[in-house]
Amino acid sequence: MQNYKTLTREIRKKSFPEIKGKIFVCRMKLFVGSAGVLTIFPRLNFIFMIPKLDDAPKKYIIGLLAHELSHISRNQKLNFFKELNYLFKYWIKSKKFRKNEEIETDKLAIRKGFFKEIYEIAKHRKSKISKYYLTSKEVLNYYNQIKKKP
């Protein structure tokens, strides 16, 4: 079994120092995907990981945690009402909003130094949810694009 809390703490310290507040990491079955994040108040965050991930490669787990920490980083400045609006748009109102959020979150994780890990996840995503995320080819293209910038 992976130690999600320790990995989260290490990744946060190294690559996400801008995140303020508490992050609780929980193992639980989710109705969509293999990991998720919930911000209740600006500084109270939960990362959920499904139990099936316990035997996943460490690189894959690190990629998922970096992706979820990227969500927290992107939403750090939302107040309670903006967070509720975000959740409404993400889950109920707009598939386009959800896709954009997931793509921008993947891109942030790549910029934070997790290209290999996000690429690994993209190669193994299930087709049911893959429409919301960068493909492995898009991950590679984005990485090459930002690598060229000074």
Q: What are 93-135's pLDDT values in tens digits?
A: 778 888 888 999 999 999 999 999 999 999 987 766 678 889 9
Q: What are 8-33's pLDDT values in tens digits?
A: 999 999 999 999 999 999 888 765 66
43: containing domain: 4-148
Does residue 91 contact residue 47 with C-beta atoms inside 8 Å? no
Sheet holding 44-49, edge to edge: 22-27, 44-49, 35-41
At position 100, the amino acid (one-letter code) is: N
Element (H, E) at 55: none
> In the chain, how many H helices and how many E strands?
7, 3
Closest to 75 measured CA to CA, from 42, 102, 50: 42
Does residue 46 contact residue 26 with C-beta atoms inside 8 Å? yes
For the chain, the average pLDDT equals: 86
pLDDT value, residue 150: 65
**Structural domains of the chain, count:** 1
Q: What pTM does this model have? A: 0.88
Distance CA 52, CA 122 (A): 18
